[in-house]
Amino acid sequence: MKEEHPKDFEKYGANIADIIKNPTYLARNEKKKSIEFIKEYKVDNDFVLVAVRVSKNNIHFARTMYVMSDEKVEKYFKHNYFYKF
């Protein structure tokens, strides 16, 4: 996370636990076999996604975290990928 999305991690990294506990939306990513916890921050109009996967040993871990692009947010709404939490 720190390496792949350093600016996003700097801004929202401390909020990962809150994003997972209190998401605005949930989504499933069948291809990557993950659950996506998305928090909408109205102040900056950011949709922050934290993808959680389950390891072979049945351990849940946050795989990635980043601010979604406007195009990705539109796609999720258009295709009903978002589930209101």
The pLDDT tens digits of the residues spanning 21-39 come to: 999 999 998 888 889 999 9
CA distance 64 to 38: 12
Question: Would you mind telling me the total number of residues written for the chain in this entry?
Answer: 85
Helix (H, G, I), strand (E, B) or coil at 47: strand
Closest CA to 51 of 74, 7, 8, 10: 8
Cβ 67 vs Cβ 84: under 8 Å: no
Task: Output the CA torsion 25→28→32→33 (10° steps).
Answer: 120
State pTM to two decimals: 0.88
pLDDT tens digits for range 61-70: 899 999 999 9
